[in-house]
Amino acid sequence: MNFKAQLKGALLGTMLASTAFHGAFAADDTIKVGILHSLSGTMAISETTLKDAMLMLIDEQNKKGGVLGKKLEAVVVDPASNWPLFAEKARELISKDKVSAVFGCWTSVSRKSVLPVFKELDSVLFYPVQFEGEESERNVFYTGAAPNQQAIPAVDYLMKNEGVERWVLEGTDYVYPRTTNKILEAYLKSKGVKAEDIKVNYTPFGFSDWQTEVAAIKKFGSAGKKTAVISTVNGDANVPFYKELGNQGVKAEDIPVMAFSVGEEELAGIDTKPLVGHLAAWNYFESVDTPANAEFIKEWHAFTKNDKRVTNDPMEAAYIGFNMWVKAVEKAGSADPDKVIEALPGVTVPNLSGGYASMMPNHYITKPVLIGEVQENGQFDIVSQTPEVVGDAWSDYLPDSKDLIADWRMPMNCGNFNVTTGKCGGKGS
């Protein structure tokens, strides 16, 4: 075991115990919570549901008496799938609306846009979507999956269970797919996959003319080796992508597609009959069979007054992040961001799949990895589930990252500590 792996193991073994503490408060006060999700534009197909989920969670918490005896007040803004506007709206939430925490962003480019604002104004962001890692910020808590909690286990599944030897890495052209695919290329090559057996392609946000791209995938898959597509296509481009897969007869038994950004919400707008058997890797599916999930779905249907509204993985990540924030506020006896940031590492809350999520000192959480097959009804049949995996902020497969760890506790207090040089600051934290 290398030194980095030993340190990661030590971090898991020394998580702080979480103890609730209720401090003094003004009973007539409220605590404002910011919701920063696109309600219009190309990402609205995915992000509107997270806004609704947050409103439900806040409503449920208020029914329990709020937090520290204070009512929670949601402040909702629409950054409209416009990445610079995310920063503007974040500044507005923190400076003008005086929110105590912000729950938001979906794409990595939106998260990167707001990072300087949260650092400058010393507020706290909970980010609920799977992403590329390669980042650990004091002011951000990452409740979505890092690549070692989604992308790499998905590749392992395809190698072991499908015998895949050729790989199409198909993504939307921005930081999450590009960095994730860089990690996956390095990982595949470490497993003996040759460069000529890896095809990488990117298309813009909102891309709709998939005929040529899908034809190229079919051609690449006709070389006599089992081929799979790893899809980091994001947002509403998934609808025409999957439609064209069906049009061109790309079946799961021939060229399976493993998606990282397609869940129940995205499938709700697609004819799923031609897609049965294609795959997705997440940390939660609506089809998880646990009492906690059944209750969550029941609450969701009651809140939305719509029994057909589905749940999905980023909703569970938002659920975990919100409950961690509540617990940390109670532990700190205050909603002050600095005190909450200090209180969060070690906080543990139930997830919806029967286990527990713990906030690690690198500001990532523990998550199980689930693989699901698309069913005709738009749900997923879970074919694989791992125990909880610790999120790795820095990939072991990239030369510039393999020696880096993050630990925001004192005395390290660093998002990019180099275990070889013994210094903080090997990369931008």
Residue 13 CB contacts under 8 Å (≥ 6 apart), including other chains: none
pTM of the model: 0.90
Number of domains in the chain: 1
Residue 150 CB contacts under 8 Å (≥ 6 apart), including other chains: 130, 260, 281, 282, 283, 369
| pLDDT tens column, 249-307 | 999 999 999 999 889 988 887 889 888 999 999 999 999 999 999 999 999 999 999 99
Specify if 194 maps to a domain. no
Specify if 84 maps to a domain. yes
Specify if 86 maps to a domain. yes
Burial class of residue 27 (count of CB atoms within 10 Å of its CB; 0-12, 13-18, 19+): exposed
Specify if 235 maps to a domain. no
Specify if 285 maps to a domain. no
Q: What is the pLDDT of residue 2?
A: 55
Tell me if 20 sits within 8 A of 330, measured CB to CB. yes
Tell me if 284 sits within 8 A of 250, measured CB to CB. no
Specify if 208 maps to a domain. no
| pLDDT tens column, 10-61 | 555 544 333 333 333 344 589 999 999 999 999 998 899 999 999 999 999 9
CATH code of the domain containing 102: 3.40.50.2300
Specify if 200 maps to a domain. no
| pLDDT tens column, 176-201 | 999 999 999 999 999 999 999 999 99
Domain range for 27? 11-145+291-365
Place of tokens 């909970």: 126
Q: How far apart are CA 358 and CA 18, in angstroms?
A: 10
Specify if 212 maps to a domain. no
